[in-house]
């Protein structure tokens, strides 16, 4: 049997204070009835994703979208169909959303989304909604006070909300000491901290998660940390992306987009290959390798969550 292919546009509508997202409950008499969803629906013939999204949000919620950006594209195999969920983050709209088709509609704080049952295809979307567009990776530093000052500057002035502590130059004790200070700073500014370290390091430092190197990624057979922690991995190709999906990584970095001074001999993948890999990744992907904040919109446009960078934030 050839499966039906269904292209669905859906919206993650964000409240003005950026803290809440709008969800709706599917009526009990349809597919996935009773589960929660991001409002939207199937595209009509010849409609683009954004056109379909505008029509569906008008029909289902009575709102008019004025500003939307691609968030994530998820391909999912249901028993009877192949579905592409084309999800947009809606930052501005007019009208007060209500369930025009009688469905329940609710604004939910980001950190309570996990309490609502969604269809199986929605897991990567929930991750994407919760993640920011920028992922800071810390640089090598020999001076601890300077490390703290630079991290704090990025949290305070650049509004960074996701940080990876990467410090290959430090031994175990020095890494733990730096990580504890970084964690306190991140907590203070409401940012999340992932450690680029062995998963067991979470026993010493109760950070928000682990960033696996591609080498660690390929050695693992199952997810090495609890579900309530974030698991990310550094990836460079299809095999590593598949392994990350198999382990249940919440997101990944994919590199190198461009040639960088730190890896001058590694051939860059460029936006075209990057986009093809992201399309099938099935989880949020941060573009890494020579990226700056000015690349974030382009990264979004080709399907990425955003950009990861050392240099652009470490000043
Ligand atoms: N809108 C939406 N659909 C989702 C989500 N997750 C998910 O698996 N789906 C699936 C359920 C459906 O099979 C399909 C969306 O179809 P739909 O029933 O909303 O389509 P529609 O609004 O055009 O309604 P209809 O005209 O077919 O009645 O995508 C989600 O978060 N939002
Ligand atoms: Mg619908």
Please tell me whether residues 108 and 200 are part of one structural domain.
no
Please tell me whether residues 173 and 296 are part of one structural domain.
yes
Please tell me whether residues 16 and 57 are part of one structural domain.
yes
Task: Write down the ipTM of this complex.
Answer: 0.94
Domain encompassing residue 66:
4-118
Q: Would the CB of 313 count as within 6 Å of ligand 1?
A: no
**Ligand approaching nearest to the C-alpha of 9:** 1
Give the span between the Cα atoms of 243 and 220, in whole angstroms: 9
Q: Is residue 177 part of a domain?
A: yes
Please tell me whether residues 270 and 145 are part of one structural domain.
yes
Over range 132-155, report the average pLDDT.
97
Nearest one of 249, 246, 255, 244 to 286, comparing CA atoms: 255
Per-residue pLDDT tens digits for 172-199 = 999 999 999 999 999 999 999 999 999 9
Q: Is residue 124 part of a domain?
A: no
Nearest alpha carbon, ligand 1 atom 17: 41
Please tell me whether residues 230 and 81 are part of one structural domain.
no
Per-residue pLDDT tens digits for 27-59 = 888 888 899 999 999 999 999 999 999 999 999
Please tell me whether residues 140 and 110 are part of one structural domain.
no
Q: Is residue 166 part of a domain?
A: yes
CATH number of domain containing 75: 3.90.79.10
Q: Would the CB of 37 count as within 6 Å of ligand 1?
A: yes
Return the pLDDT at 260: 85
Please tell me whether residues 104 and 147 are part of one structural domain.
no
Please tell me whether residues 217 and 111 are part of one structural domain.
no
Query: Which residues, 6+ apart, have CB-to-CB distance to 37 below 8 Å?
Result: 10, 23, 24, 25, 26, 118, 119, 122
Q: Is residue 250 part of a domain?
A: yes
Q: In a mutational test of the pocket of ligand 1, which residue from 7, 22, 30, 40 has the highest number of ligand atoms less than 8 Å from its CB? A: 40
Q: Would the CB of 41 count as within 6 Å of ligand 1?
A: yes
Per-residue pLDDT tens digits for 237-286 = 999 999 999 999 999 999 999 988 878 888 999 999 999 999 999 999 99
Give the span between the Cα atoms of 35 and 117, in whole angstroms: 6
Please tell me whether residues 86 and 55 are part of one structural domain.
yes
CATH number of domain containing 283: 3.20.20.70
Q: Is residue 126 part of a domain?
A: no
Please tell me whether residues 107 and 218 are part of one structural domain.
no
Please tell me whether residues 97 and 48 are part of one structural domain.
yes
> How many separate domains does the chain show?
2
Q: Would the CB of 40 count as within 6 Å of ligand 1?
A: yes
Q: In a mutational test of the pocket of ligand 1, which residue from 119, 125, 282 has the highest number of ligand atoms less than 8 Å from its CB? A: 119
Distance 44 CA to ligand 2 centre (A): 12
């Amino acid at each position: 049997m050839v499966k039906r292919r269904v292209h669905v546009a859906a919206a993650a509508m964000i409240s003005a204070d950026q803290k809440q997202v709008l969800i709706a409950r599917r009526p009990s008499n349809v597919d996935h009835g009773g589960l929660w969803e991001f409002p939207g629906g199937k595209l009509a013939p010849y409609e683009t994703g954004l056109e379909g999204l505008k029509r569906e949000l008008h029909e289902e919620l009575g709102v008019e979208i004025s500003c939307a950006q691609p968030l994530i594209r998820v391909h999912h195999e249901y028993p009877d169909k192949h579905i592409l969920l084309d999800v947009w983050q809606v930052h501005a709209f007019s009208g007060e959303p209500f369930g025009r088709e009688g469905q329940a509609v609710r604004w939910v704080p980001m950190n309570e989304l996990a309490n609502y049952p969604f269809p199986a295809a929605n897991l990567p979307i929930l991750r994407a909604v919760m993640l920011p567009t920028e992922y800071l990776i810390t640089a090598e530093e020999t001076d601890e006070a300077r490390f703290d000052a630079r991290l704090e500057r990025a949290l305070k002035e650049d509004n960074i909300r996701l940080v990876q502590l990467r410090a290959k130059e430090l031994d175990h004790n020095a890494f733990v000491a730096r990580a504890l200070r970084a964690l306190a700073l991140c907590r203070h500014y409401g940012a999340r901290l992932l450690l680029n370290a062995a998963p067991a390091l979470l026993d010493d430092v109760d950070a928000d998660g682990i960033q696996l190197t591609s080498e660690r990624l390929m050695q693992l057979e199952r997810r090495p940390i609890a579900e309530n922690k974030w698991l990310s991995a550094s990836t460079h190709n299809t095999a590593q992306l598949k392994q990350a999906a198999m382990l249940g990584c919440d997101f990944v970095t994919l590199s190198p987009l461009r040639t960088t001074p730190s890896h001058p001999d590694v051939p860059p993948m460029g936006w075209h290959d990057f986009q093809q890999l992201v399309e099938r990744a099935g989880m949020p992907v941060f573009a890494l390798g020579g990226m700056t904040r000015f690349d974030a919109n382009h990264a979004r446009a080709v399907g990425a969550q955003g950009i990861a960078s050392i240099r652009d934030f470490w000043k």
